[in-house]
Amino acid sequence: MLTSPEELARALESVGYLPDEGIATAAFLANRMGRPLFCEGEPGTGKTSLAVALSRALSVPLIKLQCHEGIDFSQALYDWDFPRQLLHLRALEAASGGALDSDLAEKSLYSRRFLLARPLLRALEESPCVLLVDEVDRADDEFEAFLLEMLGENAVTVPELGEVRATVPPLVVLTSNRTREVHDALKRRCLYHWLSHPDLPREVEILRRTLPDLPERLATQVASAVRRLRELELIKPPGVAESLDWAQALTALGRTELDAAAAAATLGAVLKYREDTQRVVAAGLERLLAG
């Protein structure tokens, strides 16, 4: 049992995730209060990896539900294994020699062994666990309402089988890139945290922890340049993932210094739109690197 945000922060650090005080406090409270944690933020600010790190730090399984347009109940909660039910029915028919008791057959067809548990049902059955509901803004309103109900109850009813209730509520982390606003009703159930890009020392530390062979000087140069890129109005400002990619690309080319030539050769690791690249090159790579 974790007793403070500081203790959770240390546990997260021990598995390679470096939270700031705000993240550690929000995650600690979500765990302590049994409330879902709703994380919003720019791409690459560590929303998804927070859930992964929490599961490792708390030594519980991670169950992930990736949301997408059109996601529905049978992809999120459960489905019946129709081909196996059919095989089973055939076997029953063969064994009965034509005198199949249809009530009994139906009962055995709709038993737990033919139920395919999807992430939400698995989370209820397997909790304690971390349930990551990733990119919930991609799902539609109807799905959100359904999610809200399930999160409120920590239980679902499978009509043929009855209620499945979590003995311990899962620690739920919802993430959103804010491509649309998620309803207030869902947010009201959750603790909210906005993840910003890490400050310079933390980003340097993330780079060095993730890439132990990266020289400190190069890590600082990459993190500083990425910070400056984030101040430009780019279509896709680089996240931590891009800093890591940039550092790796430089290392792969044997560079120990981020100068204009090295930057020009590796910009594709950090900028993902032609317009962004043109803009940065036009503004001058020397200036970007000089600060």
Binding site for ligand ATP (CB under 6 A): 17-19, 41, 43-49, 175, 177, 198, 206, 239-241, 244
Q: How far apart are CA 110 and CA 80, in angstroms?
A: 8
For the chain, where are the alpha helices, taking DSSP H only? 5-14, 21-33, 47-57, 73-76, 82-96, 102-109, 119-126, 141-153, 184-189, 200-210, 216-231, 240-252, 260-266, 274-283, 285-290
The residue (of 193 and 255) whose beta carbon lies closer to ligand ATP is 193
Query: In the bound complex, what is the minimum distance in angstroms from residue 116's beta carbon to Mg ion?
Result: 25
Query: In the bound complex, what is the minimum distance in angstroms from residue 186's beta carbon to ligand ATP?
Result: 18
Binding to Mg ion, residues 47-86 (CB under 5 A): 48
Please state, in angstroms and as integers, the Cα–Cα distance from residue 77 to each residue in 119, 123, 133, 171, following that order. 6, 9, 12, 17
Query: In the bound complex, what is the minimum distance in angstroms from residue 198's beta carbon to ligand ATP?
Result: 6
Question: Residue 176, interface with Mg ion (CB under 5 A)?
Answer: no
The residue (of 77 and 244) whose beta carbon lies closer to ligand ATP is 244
The residue (of 48 and 127) whose beta carbon lies closer to Mg ion is 48
Closest residue by beta carbon to ligand ATP: 46
Q: Which does 154 bind (CB under 5 to 8 A by kind): ligand ATP, Mg ion, none?
A: none
Query: In the bound complex, what is the minimum distance in angstroms from residue 32's beta carbon to ligand ATP?
Result: 21
Query: In the bound complex, what is the minimum distance in angstroms from residue 245's beta carbon to Mg ion?
Result: 15
**Cβ–Cβ < 8 Å for 215, 256:** yes
Q: How far apart are CA 197 and CA 18, in angstroms?
A: 12
Query: In the bound complex, what is the minimum distance in angstroms from residue 19's beta carbon to Mg ion?
Result: 16
Kindly tell me the burial class for residue 81, based on how many C-beta atoms sit within 10 Å of its own C-beta (0-12, 13-18, 19 or more): middle
Q: Which does 45 bind (CB under 5 to 8 A by kind): Mg ion, ligand ATP, none?
A: ligand ATP
- Hey, CA dihedral for 108, 111, 113, 115, is it positive or negative? positive
Binding piece for Mg ion, criterion CB under 5 A, among 41-49, 80-88, 124-132, 250-258: 41-49
Q: How far apart are CA 61 and CA 126, in angstroms?
A: 8
Residues that bind Mg ion (CB under 5 A): 48
